[in-house]
Amino acid sequence: ELKIPEEFCNEDLDKNSDYTVALDDLMEQHVICYDVEKDLLPLVLSNCQYSLERGHETLSEYDLPRIQQQFLTRFLQGKPLITRTGIPTLINTQQRDYGSIFKTIKGKVSQDLLVTLTQNSVSRELDSYSEVCEALKVVDLLLGFLSLTGGDPRMPVVTYLKDKLKMGQSIDEHIQKVSRSREDRQIAVLGSGSYLRLSCELSLEYQEPLTEQNKTELKGFMSHSKSHQWLLEMHEFILLNLSHPHATDRYKPSWGVKEAMDLYMDQKQEEVPVYVEQIFPMNLLLSQILETWKYVVTSKREWMEG
């Protein structure tokens, strides 16, 4: 066992190097390549001195400064600092309390629902992973600022970005196109819907399939003109309450969907719509909530497009 003294473990590499390479320009010669047995072990063993004392075990002493210098010379010298410039990234924001953020925004900037035509338009414009990542970053930024400062509900999002946040030069063209017709009063809805589509990884206990009887009952609910509003409430409920690692401890999969949603609406201090009380299927379980949401969304889209 080789124990490395603490003074050799506390120093970071110099990250102020002017020699940098972006990930999308990376080539083989830019990266550090080595084989443990062929490269590292010989380097270490060649700088090891052994001593043998009668009646004692063989003692080994490593020349750590020399090992360090040879390692830097052979593997690190001439290698660039690799940056993530140009590579789309999606930051994990699970630690943010989106429930409080959405509630604060709705209190400061009245929110309207996105009509189906607008939702389809957003989906068409954001047709690649990198564009979706950039859009989510912008939405996340807007959520933060609007929850703190509020804003004019009728102001187009792109105007808010350019005039209020002074971000005109840093917003990609496709983001501006998507944002141009959206208003601050729609940003919380847009944010929760987009985030759910891409980031909601639920426990398998919430993803059990629907029965044919379930689907038949849901078709009756879908025929109501305001069923899309309840879908958005389900969006929000899944995003804020079921996407956490230990969600099943709080919301049991054996509960009914309506039972769990009633509890959630009570916490929001909002009334459950009358049409939900009357026609939403009672026998749907929370273990089926994701498939319920998917089925209603898909069926309504197919019906509108057909």
Residue-wise pLDDT tens digits, 36-61: 888 888 888 888 887 777 777 777 88
Q: What is the pLDDT of residue 113?
A: 65
> 191 and 131 share a domain?
yes
Per the structure, the count of domains in the chain is 3
Residue closest to 289 by CA, chosen among 264, 260, 267: 260
Token pair of 11 as six digits: 């120093």
Is 91 inside a domain boundary? no
Q: What is the pLDDT of residue 187?
A: 47
Q: What is the pLDDT of residue 213?
A: 93
CB 287 within 8 A of CB 205: yes
Is 88 inside a domain boundary? no
Is 257 inside a domain boundary? yes
User: For the chain, which ranges sit under pLDDT 70?
Assistant: 1-17, 84-97, 113-120, 122-124, 126-130, 132-133, 169-201, 301, 304-306
> 195 and 209 share a domain?
no
Is 1 inside a domain boundary? no
Half-sphere exposure of 7 (CA within 13 A, CB side): 3
Query: pLDDT tens-digit profile of 75-87?
Result: 888 888 887 666 5
> 223 and 261 share a domain?
yes
Q: What is the pLDDT of residue 175?
A: 62
> 210 and 181 share a domain?
no
Structural domain ending residue among the three candidates 199, 230, 251: 199
CB 114 within 8 A of CB 51: no
Q: What is the pLDDT of residue 14?
A: 56
> 186 and 277 share a domain?
no
> 195 and 210 share a domain?
no
Q: What is the pLDDT of residue 200?
A: 47
Mean pLDDT, the chain, integer: 76
Angle at 231 between CA 159 and CA 251, to 5 degrees: 115
Structural domain ending residue among the three candidates 199, 227, 246: 199
> 113 and 75 share a domain?
no
CB 146 within 8 A of CB 109: yes
- Number of other CB atoms surrounding residue 115 within 10 Å: 11
CA end-to-end distance (rounded Å), the chain? 69
Rounded Cα–Cα distance for residues 226 and 232 (Å):
11
Reduced to 3 states, what is the DSSP secondary structure of residue 48? Answer: strand
Q: What is the pLDDT of residue 192?
A: 45
pTM summary value: 0.48
Q: What is the pLDDT of residue 193?
A: 45
Q: What is the pLDDT of residue 195?
A: 38
Structural domain ending residue among the three candidates 145, 180, 199: 199
Is 178 inside a domain boundary? yes
- b/e for 236-269, b at 16 or more Cβ within 10 A? bbbbbbbbeeebbeebebeebbbbbbeebbeeee
> 42 and 115 share a domain?
no
- φ/ψ of residue 189, rounded to 5: -65, -45
> 137 and 189 share a domain?
yes
Query: pLDDT tens-digit profile of 281-290?
Result: 999 999 998 8
Rounded Cα–Cα distance for residues 303 and 299 (Å):
6
Q: Give residue 17's domain range.
A: 6-83
Q: What is the pLDDT of residue 284?
A: 93
Is 274 inside a domain boundary? yes
Concatenating the DSSP letter of every residue in 154-209 gives TSBHHHIIIIIS--GGGS-HHHHHHHHT-BGGGHHHHHHHHHHHHH----GGG-PP
Is 89 inside a domain boundary? no
Residue closest to 285 by CA, chosen among 244, 242, 243: 242
> How far lies 87's CA from each of 83, 156, 162, 168, in Å?
9, 28, 24, 21
Q: What is the pLDDT of residue 261?
A: 92
> 230 and 253 share a domain?
yes
> How far lies 246's CA from each of 25, 128, 233, 250, 252, in Å?
40, 32, 21, 8, 10
> 72 and 106 share a domain?
no
> 287 and 227 share a domain?
yes
Is 93 inside a domain boundary? no
